[in-house]
Chain A
Amino acid sequence: MDFLNSILVKPFADMAAAPDFLLQVLWEGIVSGVLYALIALGFVLIYKSSRIFNFAQGIMVVFAALTLVGLHEKGVPALLAVPLTLVVMFILAVGIERVVLRPLVNQPDIILFMATIGITLFLVGFGEIIFGGENKVMITEQLYIPTGSFEFEPFGGFVSIEQKDLTAVIGAGLLVIALLVFLNRSKMGRAIRALGDDHQAALSVGISLSTIWVLVWFISGIIALATGIVWGARAGVSFALEVIAFKALPVLMLGGLESVSGAIIGGLMIGILEKLFEIYWGQPLLGGNTETWFAFVFALFVLLFRPQGLFGERIIERV
């Protein structure tokens, strides 16, 4: 009885008792949720247009952040380093298309997946040779990202919102809106969706495979840079960041590999739920540190009931 009480009643009583603290927890959840959503978006774009599960998405985040910081270290002004990093990500996209994807057209999905593992290993080595392996600090201030915090006093309590988190959330929101408009409104966006639907059909109406592939890898590169800046600002820039990309896996399981809105909602959901669980259930009952596994267990649980994920595209098949 005591046990049931501590699971089912006490956490909610705690939430009601300190609504200001609950708000703070929710905000923290939203911030990490936005980051998960960003990484998941990178995966979704590439999967949608080419059915490739891009194992390299995580290292692309690290590589983009490293390039940005590295260029700045070499004396390039911060505001110039951002467009230069984008150029590097574009060259990377072209290179991947020419060297890796093009020769592997029409190969089974698993081979392309393995190739992205190859890309990962290459970027780890290449990044270390060029920029060194030691941890770096994100150039937050040089990029004019505000570092103070806003403080509120709702319900007679206290909530603090860091300005750089707020910037991250707003920036990510704008990026996502731009991406959605691009995918739904533009000819290229339609081509990306068409290519994901049926390769042969897309080719036969004149969509160029290479152009679209370069484009989606470049967009994933842009997303990687945004993620790298935001995450680097919180945790520093190191190769350990790559691991964070795997947090996107449960998001993808929930959101479905092909749904842009699924990635966003799934990311936010995981971010918020894992924070709530950690604070109200994890720390009092399980000794904390539940954030490392909660998302995976939660995704597993959802998959038991909805194997296509929460927002996966319904596959229409006629027999």
Chain B
Amino acid sequence: MNAHSDAVAAVAPDDGIAPGELLMDVRNVSLRFGGVKAITDISFDVRKGEIRAIIGPNGAGKTSMLNVINGFYTPQEGTITFRGKQRRAMKPHHAVRQGIARTFQNVALFKGMSTLDNIMAGRSVLMKRNLFWQMLWHGPALQEEIAHRRVVEEIIDFLEIQHIRRTPVGKLPYGLQKRVELGRALAMEPSLLLLDEPMAGMNLEEKEDMSRFIIEVNRQRGTTIALIEHDMGVVMDLSDRVVVLDYGKKIADGPPEAVKSNQQVIDAYLGVAH
């Protein structure tokens, strides 16, 4: 039981990488769909403990990049090294095992299930007891279920969604759905948390709440975060370093202030006469 409460205290598991060291290294990754180039020769890295933003105009390849990282897409060229292990082709469930969790631009939740069950689903990879005990709903499996349940309740408290614990998520307003989705990703105790437009479609108050959660996850739990976001104010406030993509190519990489004043970035966002 103690092992589990310890796991809660350090939700980002100890993966043997010191803060500030290389967690993920993306090298020369290219992704094509037939003749369409989604990503061309992109390299960047993510360091342990930082908040890394990926920005760029619509269609720049940001979501494709996330999909490559969590295994939805397999790039034609390039390598990704995560926690010191290089890989090319992998399935999403392998990525999950390695400690990569994510949320989606358009919210992908189990709409018919309650908030609690959705977040519980995030624990499924961490459940170990065999089928036999699970079916009997007894013994070690029950113990394990209770331990997981405790972690989930802590996440629910943290995200301030106690009041919707039993509500089917399909009925929730969009802002709360986004929060549940973040909860499910946190329940996976990821080394790297990928957030695809966590503030999209939110009002100011909801954005402030979400920013607070992201910062707290990062500071208190030490979780490394890579996020895509369109709200520049948010990006500049939250992130430690920013990668800028445009038409599938990297055009800038660095701290927020440097990126903000980069002429190529300004051109990409405001458009420029060619």
Tell me the complex Cα distance, A301–B11, Å.
Answer: 55
For the complex, count residues of A whose C-beta is within 8 A of B.
Answer: 26
CB distance from A119 to the nearest CB of B (A): 24
1/0 contact trace for A168-197 toward B, CB 8 Å?
000000000000011001111011011001
Q: Are A182 and B102 interface neighbours, CB within 8 A? A: no
Q: Give the chain A neighbours of B188 by CB distance below 8 A.
A: 205-206
Q: Give the chain B neighbours of A203 by CB distance below 8 A.
A: 72, 92-93
Most B C-beta atoms less than 10 A away, residue of A193, A197, A316: A197
For residue B110, CB closer than 8 A to chain A, the reply is yes
Tell me the complex Cα distance, A13–B110, Å.
Answer: 51
CB distance from A94 to the nearest CB of B (A): 17
CB distance from A148 to the nearest CB of B (A): 34
For residue A317, CB closer than 8 A to chain B, the reply is yes
For residue A201, CB closer than 8 A to chain B, the reply is yes
Tell me the complex Cα distance, A205–B102, Å.
Answer: 8
Q: Are A181 and B135 interface neighbours, CB within 8 A? A: yes
Q: Are A198 and B135 interface neighbours, CB within 8 A? A: no
For residue B37, CB closer than 8 A to chain A, the reply is no
Most B C-beta atoms less than 10 A away, residue of A202, A203, A317: A203
Tell me the complex Cα distance, A15–B97, Å.
Answer: 63
Most A C-beta atoms less than 10 A away, residue of B112, B170, B185: B112
Residue of A with least CB distance to B72: A203
Q: Are A205 and B121 interface neighbours, CB within 8 A? A: yes
For residue B101, CB closer than 8 A to chain A, the reply is yes
Q: Give the chain A neighbours of B170 by CB distance below 8 A.
A: 316-318
Q: Are A186 and B134 interface neighbours, CB within 8 A? A: yes
Q: Give the chain B neighbours of A193 by CB distance below 8 A.
A: 110, 113
Q: Answer whether A198 and B110 are a contact pair too, CB < 8 Å, given A182-B135, A206-B97, A318-B170.
A: yes
For residue A73, CB closer than 8 A to chain B, the reply is no
For residue A300, CB closer than 8 A to chain B, the reply is no
For residue B269, CB closer than 8 A to chain A, the reply is no
Tell me the complex Cα distance, A287–B270, Å.
Answer: 79
For residue A208, CB closer than 8 A to chain B, the reply is yes
For residue A204, CB closer than 8 A to chain B, the reply is yes
1/0 contact trace for B36-66 toward A, CB 8 Å?
0000000000000000000000000000000
Residue of A with least CB distance to B70: A204
Could you say which interface size class chain B belongs to? Answer: 20 to 34
For residue B125, CB closer than 8 A to chain A, the reply is yes
Q: Answer whether A316 and B134 are a contact pair too, CB < 8 Å, given A194-B121, A205-B121, A206-B93.
A: no
For residue B131, CB closer than 8 A to chain A, the reply is yes
Q: Are B112 and A190 interface neighbours, CB within 8 A? A: no
CB distance from B263 to the nearest CB of A (A): 37
Query: Would you list which residues of chain B between 88 and 107 have a CB under 8 Å from chain A?
Result: 91-93, 96-97, 101-102, 104
Query: Would you list which residues of chain A between 147 and 163 have a CB under 8 Å from chain B?
Result: none
Q: Are B108 and A201 interface neighbours, CB within 8 A? A: yes
Tell me the complex Cα distance, A317–B101, Å.
Answer: 26
Q: Answer whether A205 and B131 are a contact pair too, CB < 8 Å, given A194-B110, A197-B110, A197-B113.
A: no
Residue of A with least CB distance to B187: A205
Q: Give the chain A neighbours of B266 by CB distance below 8 A.
A: none
Q: Are B124 and A204 interface neighbours, CB within 8 A? A: no
Q: Are B108 and A198 interface neighbours, CB within 8 A? A: yes
For residue A207, CB closer than 8 A to chain B, the reply is yes
Residue of A with least CB distance to B102: A204
1/0 contact trace for B140-154 toward A, CB 8 Å?
000000000000000
Q: Answer whether A198 and B109 are a contact pair too, CB < 8 Å, given A206-B96, A207-B93, A208-B91.
A: yes
Q: Are A187 and B96 interface neighbours, CB within 8 A? A: no
Contact sample, A vs B, 9 pairs, CB 8 Å cutoff: A187-B124, A187-B131, A188-B131, A191-B124, A194-B113, A194-B121, A201-B184, A204-B96, A204-B185
List of 10 A-B pairs having minimum Cβ-Cβ separation, nearest first: A206-B96, A316-B170, A201-B108, A206-B125, A197-B110, A203-B92, A200-B108, A208-B93, A186-B134, A206-B93
